Amino acid sequence: SLQSRFFHQPLFIMTFSYLFINTLSVHTPLSSHRTSSSICRSIPPPPTPPPRRFASICMNSSATSSNFDLRIGHGYDLHRLESGYKLKLGGIELDHDRGCVGHSDGDAVLHCITDSILGALSLPDIGQLFSDKDPKWKNADSDLFLHEACNRMHALGFEIGNIDVTVILEKPKLSPHKIQMRSNIAEICKCPLEKINLKAKTHEKVDAVGENRAVEVHAVAILHKVNKASAQEQNEEEGLVGKVAEELYGRIMERKLEGDVEGSWTAKLLGMGVKKVGQKVGEEAVEVVIEAIANERENVIKESADLYFHLNVLWAQLGIEPKDVFKELQKRQNISGIQEKQSRNQ
């Protein structure tokens, strides 16, 4: 029909739209007009998500790096294997027809661990501290290097969290020697055996390592800051050490002056002379070593107490006071263990 054709014409649609919009503009207050931009602005923003727990912990002043400091270091070493050299790994000399080529004893395991600890502490690496251009490190025992790294670690207030070592070597098999290697490393690092792990792999006869022409070692060390007790507790502990040492030596000197060999073991021991007292010190030192090798911590503490007592008796016999020994220790605090050992040989 004519009506239906009219309503489908574009002109009608445009005219109707124009009239509708103008009608709205007349009867609707200007303040209520909403453009697309104003409508968007009126939509409330989405709620701010709660901060992640990790971020809040990092920003929390009670969880600063001064209270919790974890360090991770990676070490890597590679040595050629050639005849005419000894094969020493993890502090053990292994029976093999070739050994590690190196300026020192070539212990790639100890070198690698040393670098992992130094790396975790952002210190110079093993090549910088113990240059292969320096003749004094020629054929040096690699445990000296690891000792020095651990001394620096302890001086900075860190201790071993754990050390994981992977040795890649075609021959010989390391399985029979793993425990001894771990024990050697734990002893040098002054940490429990369970904090040291060592794995051995072959390279499936691929490249120089697989052809038994080289040994490759990786090590990862995790260090953590030692959580000290409060300053008051720490001062009390330090005071306790001084107090016990002073009282012990004082009682020994009293027994020496009293000379009651019948009622006092200390006086009797002092009466036997320096030779006998020295023998007792040696016996107690051996007891400490035996318990340490057995990894018996409590027994080591007890035997160490016996050793310290007999050392004090020996000092009293020779007129040496504990402060004389402590002064000597204090002088060595700013000298590395390696330098101190070298000074003895000069």
The Cα–Cα gap between 284 and 311 comes to 9
The Cα–Cα gap between 214 and 98 comes to 10
Compute, in degrees rounded to 10, the torsion defined by CA atoms 285, 286, 287, 292.
90
Strand partners of residue 166: 199, 218
The domain spans of the chain are 70-226, 229-331
Q: 3-class SS at 295?
A: coil
Least confident of 53-67, 169-183, 329-343: 53-67
Least confident of 176-185, 243-252, 308-317: 243-252
Digit-coded pLDDT (tens) for 16-40: 555 445 544 444 444 444 444 444 4
For strands 158-168 and 99-100, give the pairing. Answer: unpaired
For the whole model, what pTM was predicted?
Answer: 0.50
The Cα–Cα gap between 219 and 198 comes to 9
The Cα–Cα gap between 116 and 123 comes to 10
- Is pLDDT of 10 > 70? no
Which candidate, 167, 157, 166, 165, places its Cα nearest to that of 223?
A: 157
The predicted pLDDT at position 61 comes to 38
| Choice between 16 and 261, residue whose per-residue pLDDT is larger | 261
For strands 87-89 and 92-94, give the pairing. Answer: antiparallel
Instruction: Specify whether the CB–CB gap between 146 and 188 falls below 8 A.
Output: yes
Domain at 70-226: CATH architecture: 2-Layer Sandwich (3.30)
- Is pLDDT of 231 > 60? no
Digit-coded pLDDT (tens) for 140-164: 888 899 999 999 998 888 999 999 9
| Choice between 249 and 237, residue whose per-residue pLDDT is larger | 249
Tokens of 295: 């990894």
The predicted pLDDT at position 39 comes to 43
Q: Which amino acid is at 279?
A: Q
| Choice between 30 and 329, residue whose per-residue pLDDT is larger | 329
- Is pLDDT of 341 > 80? no
Residue for token digits 């002073």?
A: 246
The Cα–Cα gap between 210 and 107 comes to 19
Proportion of the chain above pLDDT 70, given as a percent: 72
The predicted pLDDT at position 106 comes to 86
4-11: long-range contacts, CB 8 A cutoff, minimum separation 24: none
Cβ burial, residue 2 (10 Å; 0-12/13-18/19+) = exposed
Tokens of 255: 């027994």
The predicted pLDDT at position 62 comes to 39
CATH number for 229-331: choose from 1.10.8.50, 3.40.50.920, 3.30.70.20, 1.10.287.1080: 1.10.287.1080
- Please give the full DSSP string across 100-149, using - where no structure is assigned: E--SS---HHHHHHHHHHHHHTT---HHHHS-TT-GGGTT--THHHHHHH
Which candidate, 10, 166, 19, 170, places its Cα nearest to that of 90?
A: 166
- Is pLDDT of 229 > 60? no
Q: Which residues of 332-345 are buried (b: 16+ CB within 10 A; e: fewer)?
A: eeeebebeeeeeee
- Is pLDDT of 300 > 70? yes
- Is pLDDT of 63 > 50? no
What is the radius of gyration, based on Cα positions, of the chain? 37
Spatial CB neighbours of 93, under 8 Å, sequence gap ≥ 6: 86, 87
